């Protein structure tokens, strides 16, 4: 099985509690359970990581790339809109990545409408809720 990393950024540990009118009431654990099931059905062994700290996410990208991860699914949360460092970390691996946003960033506040990190990804999926992760997994089966 190919190992695939699913990285979650700041405040995603608050899913289920944080703005349920935007993100719903399911938790990060619920999301990971869904991803795990779908990933295995598609031939992926998922590895999960969540951090509220930019440097920890960068360190994990490097560590995972050096340990044989074949692809990334990333939801860097607010860092997506600000972090050139995370973009550079993804680019440095040479591995395919898909960026996912649970909410539709094009319909959010103006400062959320552009992703700095999406340029290091082969696709961005936005506004599809948790199903966006399923779409990202499917996209990665073609690379």
First to last CA, the chain: 14
79, 81, 101, 133: the catalytic one is 101
Q: Could you tell me if residue 18 is left (phi over 0), alpha (psi between -120 and 50 degrees) or otherwise beta?
A: beta
Structure tokens at 104: 């539709």
* 76's tokens: 């860097």
Residue in 23, 79, 81, 133 annotated catalytic: 23
Active site residue 62: no
The span from the CA of 2 to the CA of 54, in Å, is: 26
Residue 23: active-site member = yes
Q: Which residues are the active-site residues?
A: 23, 101
């Amino acid at each position: 099985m190919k190992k695939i990393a699913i990285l979650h950024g700041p405040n995603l540990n608050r899913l289920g509690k944080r703005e349920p009118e935007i993100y719903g009431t399911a938790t990060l654990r619920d999301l990971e359970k869904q991803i795990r099931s779908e990933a295995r059905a598609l031939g992926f062994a998922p590895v999960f990581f969540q951090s509220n700290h930019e440097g920890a996410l960068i360190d994990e990208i490097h560590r995972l790339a050096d340990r044989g991860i074949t692809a990334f699914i990333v939801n860097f949360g607010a860092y997506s809109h600000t972090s050139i460092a995370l973009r550079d970390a993804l680019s440095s691996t040479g591995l395919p990545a898909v960026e996912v946003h649970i909410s539709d960033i094009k319909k959010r506040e103006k400062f959320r409408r552009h992703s700095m990190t999406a340029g290091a990804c082969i696709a961005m999926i936005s506004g599809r809720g948790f199903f966006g992760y399923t779409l990202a997994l499917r996209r990665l089966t073609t690379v």
